[in-house]
Amino acid sequence: MCIRISKVTGLNEKIRGSLFRRKISGPTPLYKTPLRYIWFIFFYIDIFLLYVFTFSYFFSIILRQECFETFSVLFLTAANLVSSFIIDFFFMLIKGEDIVSEDEIIVSTCLTITLCIIKVATNACTFYFSLITSEQIIDSTVVHMKQRCHTSAAKWLLLNCIIINSFSFLETYIETILTLFSIIHFKRQVQNYETIV
């Protein structure tokens, strides 16, 4: 018998209390450092890239592009964009006042680093795979594939996916650098706080 989490007595309060408990003073967790203002920018960049990808996909349908070999690139690009969008949306939601308990600091640090590693890995793999697959399709000498995939619509779609993945990879690269700076900023905050205490 499934028990809904919301029905378990006090579970929501305990989770919320351990993650979002507030104190008067102390170092600010990673997701509350100056990086929090950058999440908005990355979030809207993700929305823009999703719009461009959706437009490209529907445009290729209108042109009756029949290169089925491009579907793997399209699927991975879509999955990459959606995962980046969800991660940035999550970080955008947890902005606000400083949260300063030790558990929150540990959770925020691990969460920020883990999600940035996931974004870097997925973006790098997607970008590499899209390049390799596009090269294989364009350089193919198979007659059926040449007829279906060596069209301007198919090449335009592949090029568009590569450009979108490039932008997404560049965004993640900048985001990772800013996260590293935030970690340094966070360590200084902790050192200053320990010195004051």
- pLDDT of the residue at 35: 61
Map tokens 């959706």 to a residue.
54
Categorize the per-residue pLDDT at 16 as very low, low, confident or very high, splitting at 50, 70 and 90: very low
Which of 35-44, 51-60, 94-103, 144-153 is the least confident region? 94-103
Per the CB < 8 A criterion, the answer to whether 82 and 122 are in contact is no
Map tokens 């990772």 to a residue.
176
Q: How far apart are CA 197 and CA 188, in angstroms?
A: 14
Higher confidence at residue 101 or residue 52?
52
CA dihedral angle for residue 169, residue 175, residue 181, residue 182, rounded to 10 degrees: -150
Helix or strand or coil: residue 139? coil
Interval 150-163 mean pLDDT:
80
The answer, as to whether pTM is greater than 0.75, is no
- pLDDT of the residue at 65: 66
Per the CB < 8 A criterion, the answer to whether 133 and 72 are in contact is yes
- pLDDT of the residue at 20: 44
Q: 111-128 b/e with 16+ CB inside 10 Å = b? A: bbeebbeebbebbeebbe
Per the CB < 8 A criterion, the answer to whether 74 and 130 are in contact is no
Q: How far apart are CA 118 and CA 128, in angstroms?
A: 15
Q: How far apart are CA 69 and CA 147, in angstroms?
A: 12
Higher confidence at residue 137 or residue 22?
137
Quote the Cα angle for 55-59-65, to 5°: 135
Residues contacting residue 147 through CB under 8 Å, at least 6 positions apart: none
